[in-house]
C-alpha cells in the first residue's frame, strides 16, 4: 500500500494528502462484507449493482440443493450490498423459502463473500484506471497452497492466474477464498 500511496500523492500534489487518501480509499476499497461495513455506494451506482446482481445469480445457481436460486441470489446481493456479516442473524422468511437452516445460510454467504468482493474490486479499480493488483492472502494457516504461492505477486486484471482472481479460488479450505486484490498503479504513471 505504501508504493500506491506515494504514487497517488504525486498526482494530487495540491491536495491535503491524508484527506485525499482517506476519501479515495473509502471510495475505492470499501471494506469487505466479512468486516460488516456497509457498501452504500451501491445506492447510486446502477452499473455496479447490476454487476453484483449478476455475480450473485451465478453463485446462487451453483447451489443445486437450494430450492429457489432466484431468492438466494437476491438474498446474497442484499446482504452483500448492506455489508451484513455472514454470521449475523438470518431472515427466517428467506430461510423458509430456501428450505435451508441458519447454519447453511451462513456457510453459503461466507462462500460467496470473496466472489462478490472481487466483482466490486475489479469494477472500482477499472474506474480508477488501476489495471494491476497485488495478491494478498490472509496470511494464516487456512490459506491454500495455490493462494500462498500467489501472495505478493503483481497480476493483471485482464490475465487471471489459472484458478481465478483473489476471492475466486476453488481450492481454498472451507470452500472460500479470503484473498484480496490490492491496487497497483502503473509504474510509469
User: Applying CB under 5 A, which residues contact Zn ion?
Assistant: 144, 146-147, 169, 172, 177, 179
In the complex with Zn ion, the residue whose CB is nearer, 85 or 146, is: 146
In the complex with Zn ion, the residue whose CB is nearer, 141 or 187, is: 141
Residue 90 Cβ, how far from Zn ion at the closest point, in Å? 25
- Interacting residues of 39 by C-beta distance below 8 A, sequence separation 6+: 30, 33, 80, 81, 82, 83, 120
Residue 48 Cβ, how far from Zn ion at the closest point, in Å? 23
In the complex with Zn ion, the residue whose CB is nearer, 116 or 172, is: 172
Measured distance CA(148)–CA(127) in Å, rounded: 28
Residue 145 Cβ, how far from Zn ion at the closest point, in Å? 8
Residue 155 Cβ, how far from Zn ion at the closest point, in Å? 13
Residue 158 Cβ, how far from Zn ion at the closest point, in Å? 20
Residue 114 Cβ, how far from Zn ion at the closest point, in Å? 7
In the complex with Zn ion, the residue whose CB is nearer, 125 or 178, is: 178
- Interacting residues of 160 by C-beta distance below 8 A, sequence separation 6+: 168
Q: Determine how many CB atoms are found less than 10 A away from the CB of residue 48.
A: 18
In the complex with Zn ion, the residue whose CB is nearer, 53 or 121, is: 121
In the complex with Zn ion, the residue whose CB is nearer, 66 or 144, is: 144
Measured distance CA(110)–CA(2) in Å, rounded: 30
Amino acid at each position: 500500500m505504501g508504493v500506491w500511496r506515494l504514487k497517488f500523492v504525486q498526482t494530487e500534489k495540491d491536495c491535503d494528502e491524508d484527506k485525499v487518501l482517506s476519501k479515495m480509499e473509502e471510495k475505492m476499497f470499501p471494506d469487505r462484507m466479512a468486516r460488516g461495513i456497509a457498501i452504500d455506494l451501491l445506492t447510486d451506482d446502477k452499473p455496479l449493482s447490476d454487476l453484483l446482481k449478476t455475480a450473485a445469480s451465478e453463485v446462487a445457481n451453483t447451489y443445486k440443493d437450494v430450492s429457489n436460486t432466484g431468492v438466494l441470489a437476491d438474498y446474497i446481493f442484499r446482504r452483500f450490498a448492506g455489508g451484513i456479516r455472514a454470521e449475523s442473524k438470518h431472515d427466517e422468511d428467506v430461510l423458509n423459502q430456501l428450505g435451508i437452516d441458519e447454519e447453511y445460510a451462513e456457510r453459503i454467504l461466507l462462500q460467496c463473500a470473496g466472489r462478490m468482493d472481487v466483482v466490486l474490486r475489479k469494477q472500482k479499480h477499472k474506474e480508477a484506471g488501476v489495471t494491476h493488483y497485488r495478491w494478498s492472502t490472509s496470511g494464516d494457516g487456512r490459506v491454500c497452497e495455490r493462494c500462498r504461492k500467489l501472495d505478493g505477486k503483481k497480476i493483471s486484471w485482464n490475465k487471471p492466474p489459472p484458478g481465478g482472481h483473489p476471492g475466486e479460488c476453488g481450492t481454498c479450505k472451507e470452500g472460500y477464498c479470503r484473498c484480496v486484490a490490492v491496487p497497483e498503479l502503473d509504474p510509469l504513471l
